[in-house]
A and B are shown apart, each in its own frame.
Chain A
Amino acid sequence: MPIILDKVSHIYGEDTTMPVRALDNVSLVLPDGQFIGLIGHTGSGKSTLVQHLNGLMKATSGAIYFNGEDIDSDGFDRKMLRARVGLVFQYPEHQLFETDVFSDVCFGPKNLGLSKKEIDLRAYEALKLVGLEDDYFYQSPFDLSGGQKRRVAIAGVLAMKPDVLILDEPTAGLDPRGRDEILDQIARLKQETGITVVLVSHSMDDVAKYVDRIIVMNKGRVLYDDEPKEVFKRYRELEAVGLAAPQVTYIMKALREKGYDVSDEATTIGEAREEIKNYFARLVAARKERQGAEDA
């Protein structure tokens, strides 16, 4: 179910003295099965953009098509859209309200009017997908830790079985371990279900490891839309808009500037390690060759 945005603009407070242009002519295609990172500085319009994708916000101008249908046309089933395009907000644990974890996850599918059996099944599957142990299912969500609450909230959206999952800063306020756990869980989920995932973040380090496409937003416009490698090559431009390439990219660049012949395209620690190992292997090979030549 691809989503297509055609010149979407959104203006806050249009009829006031201080209108704010949060989105400015954004045109994008989000095809099936991609893992997309949506990056931007605070106030760049990324949160506004994702709220357009499931029809929570209405574009001031431009159109959005879901599966070929204009989501703003009369008779378009917006409830269906919200189930198909699952949106997990920032700090989603603040939306929990039920007395136990399981019922809270049931809220979404219940609203879809499914049978009791189907609702329970989906809630169970969703909680399994986010890796929450059975022991917690009937506890109050308010007794869980921050990371666990967040997983419950994500499960609440997953239980609707969306085709597209959008996560708005899913790691905000978590410690490094909680952050890695959530992100790994999302990556695994992506692999298991094959759904489209849009990961909204302001941290390049968070997304570089996982996504296969990065959209950089700045002042309501799409600045770059490319593979991570290509985007991180423009690290100077990224810095100019308050973002940065992953830290490991800077290390590789520094090595290169010192005269080590390594590629500076690595964006994850794994890639960097391989690159450095290769470099040493080349060094050793070159030395052996030289020695061989001297011996001869």
Chain B
Amino acid sequence: MLRDITLGQYYQAESVIHRLDPRVKLGTTVLFIISLFAFDGFWGYGVAALFLGIVIKLSKVPFKFMVKGMKSIVFLLSVTVIFNLFLTPGEPLVQIWKLSITREGVRLAVLLSIRLGFLIIGSSVMTLTTTPNQLTDGLERMLRPLNKMRVPVHEIAMMMSIALRFIPILMEETDKIMKAQLARCADFESGNLVRRAKSLVPLLVPLFISAFRRANDLAMAMEARCYRGGDHRTRMKPLHYEKRDYIAYLIVIGYLVAGVAAGKLIPVLLGGVVL
């Protein structure tokens, strides 16, 4: 029942995007998200859609996996769309009772859905093509300058990767303990809220104990290998920029220029038609 939930949704495939340095992917995702909010007008979003489409094609991840992430924001999206539709002042298009849909409202609602949709899909591309470990590695490297400001970057990255690693283990553990208590006729489903909350005690106590035990074991194992973390630690897989990473950066810069240019120039070329 619990093992169906997938977190850290890496999709195994052989593609250029998978092989890129995680820093490139992290940087690109951040730039892409900024670009989504910086572009003005629909031409820029045309360029963004093209860019996203090419990246998805290159990543060899089936499109349906990208859309999965969208499900979680459908509610949020529909609320904002409705508010924007009805509450933006401007030139009314349709009048229903006291509410009116305005031209500006439609424009804002459409822009907003595009921005949020692309944002989710764009970041899904990153998480689907990068393993959690690569991701934290990349993050650690990118945030290294903060070390000078006494931010414990390495420790934070380590905690992140351990937390990610523990999610499936604890899921499995929960499943096991739940079954063991069910075998003792435990009832997790009926009764009112108080009863149900109480029925979780036989599940949570063993789960916490096992989490502490595992954490303790891990700490011990790290200690036994003289783990100290921090500055002088070498890596098994050091991050190296390769030719394809530089090319990727160039392409991203090209994309930003094209996006901005498309937003500014095409309407002018078309004789000032503002969409």
Contact = CB atoms under 8 A, between A and B. Distances in A.
Interface of A: 51, 54, 56, 79, 82-83, 86-89, 92, 94-97, 107-108, 111-112, 142, 156-157, 160
6 contacts: A56-B179, A56-B183, A89-B183, A94-B176, A95-B181, A142-B209
A53 B179 CA distance: 13
Given A94-B210, A97-B205, A82 B180 contact: no
Contacts of A82: 182-185
B120 interface: no
A97 B206 contact: yes
A95 B185 contact: no
Interface size class of B (residues with CB under 8 A): 10 to 19
Contacts of B206: 94-97
Interface of B: 176-177, 179-187, 201-202, 205-206, 209-210
A4 to B, nearest CB: 20
Given A107-B202, A111-B187, A95 B182 contact: no
A95 B187 contact: no
A23 to B, nearest CB: 17
B179 A156 contact: no
B176 A79 contact: no
A97 B201 contact: yes
Contact of A89 (B179, B186, B210): B179
B61 to A, nearest CB: 13
Nearest to B4: A13
Contact of B184 (A51, A94, A111): A111
B67 to A, nearest CB: 17
Nearest to A93: B206
Contacts of A96: 206
Nearest to B204: A97
Contacts of B205: 97
A82 B187 CA distance: 12
B184 A79 contact: no
A16 to B, nearest CB: 9
B184 A156 contact: yes
Contacts of A111: 184-187
A94 B208 CA distance: 11
A271 to B, nearest CB: 35
A94 B178 CA distance: 11
CB-CB nearest 7 A-B residue pairs: A97-B205, A111-B185, A95-B180, A108-B184, A87-B183, A89-B180, A97-B202
Nearest to A86: B183
A157 B184 contact: yes
Given A82-B182, A107-B181, 19 more contacts: A51-B179, A56-B179, A79-B185, A79-B187, A82-B183, A83-B185, A89-B179, A92-B180, A94-B176, A94-B209, A95-B180, A95-B202, A96-B206, A97-B201, A107-B202, A111-B185, A111-B186, A112-B185, A160-B185
Contact of B182 (A56, A97, A112, A160): A56
Nearest to B203: A97
A157 B184 CA distance: 6
A19 to B, nearest CB: 14
Contacts of B186: 107, 111
